Structure 1
Amino acid sequence: MPANLTDHIKESARELGFELVGIAPAVSPVSLPHFESWVEAGYAGDMKYIPGRREAYQHPRHILPVVRSVIMTAMCYDPQRNVEQEEIRIGQIARYARGEKDYHDVMKVSLKTLAQRIHKAVPESKTRAVVDTTPLLERDFAQQAGLGWFGKNTMLLNKSIGSYFFLGALLTDVELTPDEPHNSSHCGTCTRCLDACPTDAFVQPYVLNATKCISYYTIEMRDQSIPEEIRPGLKDWMFGCDICQEVCPWNRKAPQTREEKFEPQVNLPDAIEFLAMTPETFKTKFRGTPLERTGRNALARNAAVVIGNSGSRETVQHLVDALQDESPLVREAVVWALGKLENAETIAILQSQLCIEQEEIVLNQLKATLSQLDNNSDEIDFEAV
């Protein structure tokens, strides 16, 4: 066993590509009362897996029964806003999802390699690698491990690398020397993140209402329509949102990623391409990436909303083509977008669609959109449908 196992583990973590590493004791999360009140307020929305595992969040022993220490790590993803493109494109994807591989998979490999090094030093030790999918309040343990502080946008912030990073944890039964918690905040009176949110998702500093968050609607809510009052706030975000990070002063000098699998892919599809993409092409192109989880239909739905927000009437024909999409979720969003990009032919096109559409969700949107477009909505024979 190395003379100082804690230092050995930290050195190994940095060798494996983690920008930050710290040790937290295996105790109940300090922010547990805040988390429970957040769930009680309904701010988790339809993410039922969160309240469904509420008890498990109370202590890391629910993940690894013999746990004594929580090794917290951070790995940067790329902070640049856009990869250089040859032409103007509609639609943005959050920075974390622009790489070629899902961060869960990439970080799990590094964490398991770190676990192997611990096993080599302590052969009888037990470990479990955790990346975002188990009931662990990672940001809480990262703060307790000294990695950063909670920003008013609820992200974990670090003076050196900002907030463009993923968190990963390695739970172990080995007793390690814990780091000092990062108990001070460095946000001061700044409220840029709160003020910049286009959907007013922040109830107050440090409290996010997911049911108003762009990321929630474009990533988590995969089987429903996006509420109409939320759609304009999406602006050009097709998948996720970085606005509250973009405006944060601590991200001005965020470093480039060192992990090649997180480097942004060149020429990712824009909204028009996503809207026209077949399910088969989507599966082939995005297997093993963060986009895979949300799925083709939800992304095509998002793309239609973004096109509607763009104001670009050059996209109308692409929307008209998408009225034949197999997914009612997509067709409903397309109808809404056509209403936003009204031109001389829009009413006639939507009236024709009204005669053949059979899905209630799309019919309702057709009627609402036509009523908005036609000052004399009585001329539209809704009863005949």
Structure 2
Amino acid sequence: MAVDHDPYSVENYERCLARGTRPNGRTLCEARPANLGFGAVLTAEGSALVKIGNTTMLAGVKLEVMKPTLNPNEGLIEVMFETPALCSGSVRPVRQKEQACSIGEQVTNAIHSAGLIDKKELCIVPALSAWKVYVDVYCLDADGSLLDGALLAAVAALSNLRIPRISVDNEGKVVSVADQDKGVDARVRTQEEVGKVRTLESKKLTLGPCPFGLTCGEYLSASPTTCTAHKEGRVQSASGAKRLAYGFPITGPLMASNGAGWETQSQGPIRVTIPGEDAAAVNGMRVDSRSAAAFPPARQPSAVSGRRGYFVVDPIKEEEALMKSVVTVIVDERGHLISVYKLGGRSEASIPLLQDCIEAASKRAAELRQILDDACKEAEETLEE
């Protein structure tokens, strides 16, 4: 009998999930460690290198003086996301381009919706000149949860951004952008002395609430599971499971029974939870209160049968390929929901998946905010030295 050594084959993956872990040792609700550093691109006005597990992103910020078009008192922010061929050997060019454009749009929308940057701070002279901010994010290693990494890299690069010192003439035109090292040239300094130009000093932007993303997946087991319950909704037993560490949904098409035969129910999923972590047996499970909506009050089932589902946080590339559906939830540092993103596919994201992902994203946002703050503090201490 041949032995399957692929840790992400269906058989091996389900064996790990039944123990409440994944092939890489993480629990189902555990995100990969994240770290970041600033100043990776010396020619940029701000830059950051971000890693979430093996997923690696490089972001750089460039500035350009523009004439305001939409609002005379505001500048613009534009994000571009690229996945070069080196980031993954398994990505198809067409699919790669579509995904890159979509992720770039999501990052842009998240930055605007969260109010990360007050675009009025980008105004130089109302109606005459303003800064246009280009944020370029490059994926160096695509190992899952790309939107999470791209958004974190963009936010980090913007937090590292410093607007350069500039000189503006009496007509509101920018006549000189000072090099951070060389300062203002002698010609501009002479014009300052005679009142022909004025100088706006270098500054860092005041950041608003930072948006952060978390990608989650829903995996459906290949084999069906049957649960029987008392009238109170307490599950007596379940087949197809010996050891579980996380509450799981039984999804459709559901077969439900009230003791008078089985019938198909199109609604679902039914979420089954186990009290405590890493329960050794399935006895004592309860049908979650969210399950009540799947069946009319007078027809609450005494048993349900369907495919067992698992909620997986921050899946890597191999895991994403196994998921029924994958969604990314973006929240700000206060836990306020910014957006929900799902890239294509036929399968809909279930309501329990969205609810669990929003809850997990709020916790993850607090972690990432702390990582960003620590990196900013370290960068400031380095500059002072």
Choose between structure 1 and 2: higher strand proportion. 2
Choose between structure 1 and 2: higher helix proportion. 1
Return the TM-score normalized by structure 1: 0.20
Return the TM-score normalized by structure 2: 0.20
